[in-house]
Amino acid sequence: MSGVVSMVLGLFWIIVVIVLLVILTSCIRIVKQAQALVIERLGAYQTTWGTGLHFKMPVIDRVARKVDLKEQVVDFAPQPVITKDNVTMRIDTVVFYQITDPKMFCYGVANPIMAIENLTATTLRNIIGDLELDQTLTSRETINTKMRASLDVATDPWGIKVNRVELKNIIPPAAIQDAMEKQMKAERERREAILRAEGEKKSTILVAEGNKESAILDAEAEKQAAILRAEAQKEAMIRQAEGEAEAILKVQQANADGIRFLKEAGADEAVLTMKSLEAFEKAADGKATKIIIPSEIQSIAGLVKSVVEVGEKEQ
């Protein structure tokens, strides 16, 4: 009988030890990086555990919520909004948020994600309601900034910080899309026509400037050619005059040499007179009808006959 009792007591203590080990193990918690644990004691908030090893009281303490402290992204479904000029469109948004206070996140709002979605929808409607269609399509950055500021202020009591808000898609009605496509097509055609006209204008200007430059160059070339022709003609006339002067000089020099030769040869006055008469005959060159003979030559009777014959020949 005592052996059975001892066995039962041994088994009991083994069970007690196992239970105690299980309880102690459950009281040891390791919190990972970028996480936080909200601890409640007897149903009331006790503390928030950060990264590291922690121990909690058995039975009376419990982990109320595990909170992820990393930045998170939530994509909300398209929301219908109406612009200032009464155009209904659908816009879906993407919100980037981060939990900064695990306690407020746990106890501040019942469903934080749903609360952010509804707050985003109402804020978006308020902002778009003050803008017209064209402003809505071209003011994404302004809308994003306004929404982020409004959401950040509204979610601060919930321990949530909204870092960025982006408009993912803006979907106008089909009729508006068709009209916008036609408008863009017309705008592209207008720009193409303007660019083509500007190109033709520049081309015409360049051609005119080229013709002007060509005319100027032609005029300069003609001017230079005329100058060169004038200089060549002047040079030719100078050379011709120099040649004639040189020829006359040579003829005079030859006559002087001939007369000097006759004088050196001892020719008498009659021979010199005959030579002078020959010179007069050459001067007439068959064109003169009358020759005036100096009085010194008239005294020579033999020469008169020659003069008469020359005169008759010319007649």
Tell me the sheet residues that pair with 54: 29
pTM of the model: 0.54
Q: What is the pLDDT of residues 233-242, one digit of tens each?
A: 888 888 888 8
> 50 — phi, psi (to 5°)?
-95, -165
- Answer yes or no: is pLDDT of 155 > 80: yes
Calpha distance 276→262 (Å, rounded) = 12
Q: Which domain holds residue 89?
A: 72-172
131 and 50 part of one domain = no
151, 123 contact by CB (below 8 A):
yes
At residue 26, the 3 state secondary structure works out as helix
Tokens of 236: 């030719």
236 and 209 part of one domain = yes
Q: Which of 24, 48, 68 is the last residue of a domain?
A: 68
Tokens of 85: 């000029």
3-state SS, one letter per residue, for 98-115: EECCHHHHHHCCCCHHHH
Distances (CA, A) of 140 to 82, 165, 252: 16, 10, 110
Residue 313 within any structural domain of the chain: no
Q: Which of 24, 53, 68 is the last residue of a domain?
A: 68
Strands 88-99, 79-82: pairing kind? antiparallel
Query: Model confidence at 24, in pLDDT bands (50, 70, 90)?
Result: confident
In the chain, what is the greatest distance between 2 CA atoms, to the nearest angstrom?
Answer: 212
Find the mean pLDDT for residues 203-209.
87
The whole-number pLDDT of residue 294 equals 53
Tokens of 297: 């030559």
The whole-number pLDDT of residue 137 equals 82
Find the mean pLDDT for residues 55-80.
89
Domain harbouring 52, CATH code: 2.30.30
Tokens of 220: 């300069």
15 and 45 part of one domain = yes
156, 112 contact by CB (below 8 A):
no
At residue 266, the 3 state secondary structure works out as coil
* Total length of the chain: 315
* Region for residue 104 given its phi and psi (left: phi exceeds 0; alpha: psi -120 to 50; beta: otherwise): alpha
The whole-number pLDDT of residue 310 equals 43
User: 10 Å Cβ neighbour count for 112?
Assistant: 19
96, 134 contact by CB (below 8 A):
no
The whole-number pLDDT of residue 258 equals 66
Domain harbouring 105, CATH code: 3.30.479.30
36 and 95 part of one domain = no
Residue 124 within any structural domain of the chain: yes
> 215 — phi, psi (to 5°)?
-65, -40
User: 10 Å Cβ neighbour count for 148?
Assistant: 18
61, 39 contact by CB (below 8 A):
yes
- The one-letter code for the residue type at 219 is A
The helix/strand count (H/E) of the chain reads as: 9, 9
